[in-house]
Structure 1
């Protein structure tokens, strides 16, 4: 049982069915054996190897006469059974013999041409087979053979060999071999739809709302589990939608008190307390705006169209350059081509550039250099933002794109800038990741699917 726990469904079913078939084969063989023996295991029968040994020792002369030759197998048989005798007769009546025919079988030898096959047992020794005769096709043609006095074996053993030769080997063994190959294939075909479900389940993510696993074509035993999983996904989507509505409403409600506080701060006299309060209100305002931006991304349908990403990045950086320089930093743009097309929403992609530049200004430290690179890699266009600041601690890099994630509690910002970047990247069929820049600092890479220039562009909503 412990072994079965480590097997796949296909392997478990295959092992069980093949084991069942093997059990049936063994039980059928035992049942046939007991039927042959009629539950009587006493007595002996002639060893079955005598037939082939005798026939192999007989050949024909150039004149066509039967002749007996000495073979190693025959000599070994004679040593094992000194009383062995036999007669081999062909259709023409020519025959060869060896040894003295036993008395119970003398009459059988006299009528051999009229007999086909059978066994003879002396009534005085009813447990022992006296002789055996049969008609068989050999290299001599059709021939008759009768023999006795050979080595004996217990009846149960001889019947067991017969069951293996005439039942198990020609019937159950081929069936078992065929099923060893066929059963795993049949089971795998029956569960092939389940593999599609497993593959699709890998894409289940809290940010992929509306994703459902396919229920069509599944086995009846698996379908209820998939339906229950889809029901759980529906409840998660409903909870996520309720949470998003709450955050959006809260952000809207915050705007009014923030505006009132700003107005009242303007009426206060200048001083350290006023400066501190203005900083706090500014941070609260940034949080409110970021929350509204994040919810707007999730609730609006982007206007996707072919865009020259090189031009979009260049123009946006030119607009941001005064802000970067005023903060005491430098920015440079690196690109080896004038045109790289992607399918995207211009306003959303511009927000990505603005957020990443602002993120570098806020967290990069003093007098950093921000290098923005646009390049291609396989079927994607990459935007890379690398600064020369203090960098991101390794322990925080896996969660840096989560909402409200900041590796220092006292830092500025709401912790939503990188989350918005990730949302926009996913919306465009791409991704946002951290990378280690050549120099010490922070590197953020945004990859977007590339489209070939001049090709027709159409948008399709695809649920992954």
Structure 2
């Protein structure tokens, strides 16, 4: 499916508004032309041209008209033809009923080369007329008429061009300037609600559910989209809640059969198969507890109390040592320098167990796994191949596994990182010859812990 490029609503509205305004303006001009309200398209110019070609001066000096074909056709097409032709010597030639407004003009316009009368829009009291002085072979001649006559196509095109240049283009330019200024303001004010909804959408997160987009100041045209998004968010919230309930219930239900499985495996005679089964059962138990820890931390069910790092380490090593021995490791333990911190005992125990489980899984099944503790830190060291450089930044990502065919779900180290963040500390893994070392560091100030659940990733 091809991806459609985004576009600017302001630009699209501007050009479409300008196009509509231009079309409306042109239609108005056409209507005005059709009803004869725009003078540039009245054909009195054609009548004057026919009269100019027909007029001549008699030997006595009087003005007269030849009976040309165009003049005969004009009289046929315009039975109410009227005109007045005069020269500078005072000779006058008239025909038809001249309106009273123009009958007495005489020589009052001798110094005006051309004039138009009665051409204002809405002017119904005075008939339209055109007066024009034209140069001929025998001097200047004044033509005055209000009768429409035929115009050539070239003349019409010229007049159209003049109307476009004098009326349409300036009006369109003014409308474009107005639209250019008004459109961004209108769009900005109309989309204030959309901007607010966008900011709210950025705050919606899987660990902060229940958020909805505001419908305040949302245009009616956009409101259905906001409603649909809010309904979709509601369905997602319901789906996540059902998923979390399922994971929690499944983890609780798995505890009993895993305990029974461990008991039955323990009763088997010692062999390599028993060792493998014990490791598999341990991994299954760890995964089950990780699922429960995720749900507990996400729900904010944590209790900060005084935690002795030495006692915590002893409890974890006692529980995990049999699994390490069965996998072929030697275990060293030094927590004499351990101190106290403020934290959640269950979460810290799970974090340390995950670190030891990671060392057992990736330590090469040989050598020593050592656990040491200081005033505000705990370290777990193995003698395995270490951590590849290109994986050090990714091993804490959720569901990341160093080997595609490796065991586990890839939640252990991600959960450790979230637990340490919840306590205001950090977890680091680095190579140390031989093997790798994982360090859990806690803030020296016991009040530095953040007593809020971390933002956890879920499947």
Matched, 1:401 2:387: no
1:117-137 deviation line (CA, Å, top 9, x unaligned): 9449xxxxx9985239xxxxx
Pair 1:316–1:251, CA change in 2 (3 A): same
Partner of 2:260: 260
Tell me, what secondary structure is at the counterpart of 2:38?
A: helix
The 5 A counterparts of 1:73-152 are: 110-111=107-108, 118-119=115-116, 130-131=132-133
Matched, 1:240 2:240: yes
CA separation in 2, counterparts of 1:444 and 1:28?
A: 82
Pair 1:397–1:227, CA change in 2 (3 A): farther
CA separation in 1, counterparts of 2:454 and 2:16?
A: 44
Tell me, what secondary structure is at the counterpart of 1:43?
A: helix
CA contact (8 A) 1:44 1:155 kept: no
1:303 CA drift (Å): 6.1
Matched, 1:280 2:280: yes
The 5 A counterparts of 1:21-420 are: 21-34=21-34, 35-37=37-39, 40-41=42-43, 43=45, 110-111=107-108, 118-119=115-116, 130-131=132-133, 154=155, 157-158=158-159, 161=162, 164-165=165-166, 169=170, 171-302=171-302, 350=348, 354=352, 357-358=355-356, 361-362=359-360, 365=363, 389-391=386-388, 401-403=397-399, 405-408=400-403, 411-420=406-415
> What RMSD over aligned residues (CA atoms) do the two structures have, in Å?
6.1
1:182 CA drift (Å): 0.9
1:165 CA drift (Å): 3.5
CA separation in 2, counterparts of 1:264 and 1:392?
A: 41
Pair 1:301–1:19, CA change in 2 (3 A): farther
Pair 1:185–1:10, CA change in 2 (3 A): same
CA contact (8 A) 1:210 1:237 kept: yes
CA contact (8 A) 2:26 2:168 kept: no
CA contact (8 A) 1:190 1:219 kept: yes
1:187-210 deviation line (CA, Å, top 9, x unaligned): 122112212323433454444422
CA contact (8 A) 1:290 1:414 kept: no
Partner of 1:376: none
1:354-407 deviation line (CA, Å, top 9, x unaligned): 37744763466467999x9xxxxxxxxxxxx9998232766x97796334x434
1:24 CA drift (Å): 2.1
CA separation in 1, counterparts of 2:141 and 2:381?
A: 97
Tell me, what secondary structure is at the counterpart of 1:131?
A: strand
CA contact (8 A) 1:36 1:159 kept: no
Pair 1:247–1:41, CA change in 2 (3 A): same
CA contact (8 A) 1:131 1:148 kept: yes
Aligned residues: 348
1:41-90 deviation line (CA, Å, top 9, x unaligned): 573699xxxxxxxxxxxxxxxxxxxxxxxxxxxxxxxxxxxxxxxxxxxx
CA contact (8 A) 1:265 1:278 kept: yes
Pair 1:212–1:255, CA change in 2 (3 A): same
CA contact (8 A) 2:116 2:129 kept: no
Pair 1:432–1:37, CA change in 2 (3 A): farther
Tell me, what secondary structure is at the counterpart of 2:133?
A: strand
Unaligned runs of 5+ in 2: 49-86, 94-103, 118-127, 135-139, 144-153, 322-328, 336-341, 374-379
1:11 CA drift (Å): 3.0
CA contact (8 A) 1:432 1:444 kept: no
CA contact (8 A) 2:116 2:130 kept: no
CA separation in 1, counterparts of 2:33 and 2:429?
A: 74
1:15 CA drift (Å): 2.4
Higher RCO structure, 1 or 2 (CA under 8 Å, sep 6+): 1
